[in-house]
Each structure stands twice: as C-alpha cells, then as structure tokens.
A and B are shown apart, each in its own frame.
Chain A
Amino acid sequence: MNIKNDKPLHVNPDIVFREEEEGAFLFHPETGELKCLNSMGRIIWSMCDGQISADLLEEKISNKYPSVPRDEIHNDLITFLEELFAIGYIGHSTAVVPPA
C-alpha cells in the first residue's frame, strides 16, 4: 500500500519520538529498532498530527524553503513518508483534510 497524497497522516503512537539538537530518534519499543531523523525529518514527523496530508506537507515545506526546487521537495518527502508508511511508523487517519 502506498501513501495517498491527499489523505491525512498520523504517527504511530507506539513509536517513541525523541528530539535532539541535530535531529531526532524514532524508537520502536517492541522491536528495539532505532531510526535517526535529520532536522527536516524531525520537522515532518512533528507535523504529522492526523490532520495534514502529504500534499499539504509539501506545500508548507515549499513555503518555508522557497529556494529548494518543488520537485526535489516532493521526491524527498514522498520517499521519506513511504519508508515510514511501509514499516507502520505513520498511517492514514480518517480526519478531513483542508485543501492544499
């Protein structure tokens, strides 16, 4: 199953999220798996509040970093989200998303 870009995203509440100055850790308490997020990953994770979609995330990030090409943001974001989606760290919620 792939990310649906217009569906809201939420983080798996079982995953432990710990912010550090240079990034953040994601820790799976059952498997013990540890992932390291860079600063951008940390921001994206924090924004996945169950209300925001991939499209809206892309919009917000593009507004924040206007010098970065939109295609680059889109590709990096989708790759990142797909990876987390595939392992169950994020999922789709049923909330209604405002248009991007």
Chain B
Amino acid sequence: MGIKSLPQLRSLYFYVSGQCNLNCRHCWQHKRIDEDSMVPDGNNAEIPPADLFRVIKEAKELGLYSIKFTGGEPFMNPLFIDYLNIAKNEGLRVVIETNGTLLEESHIPRLKALNLREIAISLDGANQETHDNFRQKKGAYLQTLAALKLLAKYKLPVQLIMCIHRKNKDELGDLLLLAEQYKVNSVKINPIQPMGRGQELAEKGECLPLSELLELSKYCRENLSKSFSGNLFFGLPISFRPFEEIRDRTFSVCQIFSILGLLSGGELSFCGIGHNNRELIFGNIYEDSLPDVWKGAPLLNELRQCLPKGLKGVCGRCLLKSTCLGECRAEAYERTGDLLAPHWICQEALDSNLFPTTRLLPAADKLKE
C-alpha cells in the first residue's frame, strides 16, 4: 500500500476536565472520571493556558481550524474560560460539549465573543424524573433547562443531544417541543454506545434493539423532522441513511484523519479513547512537539495506512467505507481491542439481515467462488 499524504490537523478535541458533576448511566469515560474525582479539589493537573496556547500555535501550522471543548464537564475546570479566550484570540471555530448545569450568566459575554459553531447540551428526557435518573443527579434537569433559557436569551447556537433508550424513547416528541421553546438549532439523537457504563445498560436490556432504532430513525426523518424548525439528526451510521443524504453529503462522520485528542493531563490520542485505553496515547504536550507527533506517531500512521482498506467484518464489505471510515473507531477498540473491528451497529445489522444489501459487497470467500 502506498504512503498517503499527511492529512491536515483540522480539529483539536480538548478534554478540558477529567472531572464531572454528574454520574451518567451511559458514560463511556467513567473510569477516568471516577479516578480524577478522587483527587482532592485543586490538585488536578489542569493544562496551563500558556501550554494550550503553544499547542494551538503548533497545531495551526498543521492546519488547525477548530477546537472542541469537552470532558468530563468542561466547566469543572477553573481555567476553562482562559482556554476559551485563547481559542477566541486564535480565531478558532469552537464547539463546546457540556451538560449545562454549571453555566452562569457571567459566562455569556465570553461565549458571545467566540467564533462559536455550537454549544452541545445533553438532555435525555422531557421531564425531570427521566433526565435526573439517567444523569443520576437530582436537580440536573432544571439546571440544564436554566442553561438553555440563558443560551436562548442571548441567541447562542445550541445543539441538544439526547441519548435514546427504553425509558425515554416516548419523550422524543416532547423533547422536540422543548427544543422549539428554547430555540435550539438542532437536536441529535444518539443510540447508547456499548462502552463503559453503556455496556451495562445494554446487558440490562435498557438500550433499544437495532430494529427499533431503525424504525425510530425513519419516524424522525419522515415525521418529526417535518414539524421541527431546526435540524434533527439520528446518530446511526451512514449505511442506513437515505440515498439522497449520501449523494448530497448531508451527514457528518468522524473525521478521524484530521482530528487529535488532547486529554486533560496533556496526553495526545485519537480522541477521549486514550482516557480508557492508555496504550492508545501516542504523545504528551509536555514532552513532544505536536508536529512530530502528528507526522511521526506510529499509531497515527498505522491507522492512516489501514483505514479504510483494513476494516474488518461488515465494514470491509461496505460500499461506504471510504466515506464513513467505520464510523467510531474508539467504540470498535473499546469493544474488541482492535481499531479495525467492524462498527457494532452495522455488524449487528448484517447478522440480523437488516443491513441494506445494495450497499454490501460479496464476502471475500464468495468472490472466489
């Protein structure tokens, strides 16, 4: 296989804090968050703003355009606002993923000053009991609604993210009404990934089976999206999307070749997967130059060489493999220890005869016959 040209580093996923004030029942990074939460307040190793500034400068030389602040909960880090200022001064496009519970009106001027694509806020139900049970924090729902109210008041772009499961699926319509009320730009419905605590939910039968996810996705597309003024996305792999969406590329997929994960301790990995799997850390901002890591980290280069050709299972047979690159490689690794393992939804669909046959190549053994 030939050497591919070096991709640009377009987006930095910065895991601002290893701590979180909620205790979500599907969290895939809970091990790290639990460990970090054991550390007494003030003793966590936040990245000094000067170091983030240096990293961003280096990354811009490699093509950096955007930064996503995520966590843990970003607002748990007292330096978060300093980080936002750096992103603003460097002209980066900004995405913030937060549970919204710690957002205050005093934060708004800083947020308004950003080149903000969106603030993604988790909301897992249209009533207090459902959301608070899932996030395992009483009062979280009302705090999140207060954040939504603030963001609407100041006309900041918001995406609501709802993790769909057996106990909240019937609240989807009401959640969209809430989304209208708070003037959010988009709503994304995510199936629960069988990672971390999500695996436990799957084992307890609280996740929706694939057939139900497919039905719900269709219902969203054909019904709910027509009555919702914003954009409604359903987080299934693109192999299940209608032809027009693929043709017009009105979907988003993980841009794994052009992103880099910066963990709260300064480690570098593909994304937050490095929190759970330390063997996927391939650099550290305190020890390595970012360009050296981007150009030379063996794990990064191996993945660049192997994706999409080396994808296994159904992903290796899918017509869309060059477009979706197997969707979430972190989930594949977390589940199997193999970055090239098939996506669980697509593989389950193939095994249940639910994978779209027009998008599937014959198996290698069939080709030889």
Contacts and interface: CB of A to CB of B under 8 A. Distances in A.
Interface of A: 16, 18-23, 25, 27, 29, 31-34, 36, 38
Contacts of A20: 243, 358
Contact of A22 (B243, B308, B309, B322): B243
B242 A33 contact: no
A22 B246 CA distance: 11
Nearest to B357: A18
B243 A29 contact: no
Interface in B275-290: none
B359 interface: yes
Q: Which 6 residue pairs across A and B have the least CB separation, nearest first?
A: A32-B322, A36-B247, A22-B243, A18-B358, A27-B319, A20-B243
Determine chain B's interface SS by DSSP, over half rule: helix
Interface of B: 242-244, 246-247, 308-309, 319-323, 358-359, 361
B323 A34 contact: yes
A19 B358 CA distance: 7
A34 B244 contact: no
11 contacts: A18-B358, A19-B358, A20-B243, A27-B361, A29-B361, A32-B321, A33-B322, A34-B319, A34-B322, A36-B246, A38-B247
B243 A32 contact: no
B321 A23 contact: no
B116 to A, nearest CB: 32
A18 B319 contact: yes
Contacts of B323: 34
Contacts of A27: 319, 361
Contact of B243 (A16, A23, A31, A33): A23
Nearest to A36: B247
Given A22-B242, A31-B322, 15 more contacts: A20-B243, A20-B358, A21-B243, A22-B244, A22-B247, A23-B247, A25-B319, A25-B359, A27-B361, A29-B361, A33-B322, A34-B319, A34-B323, A36-B243, A38-B247
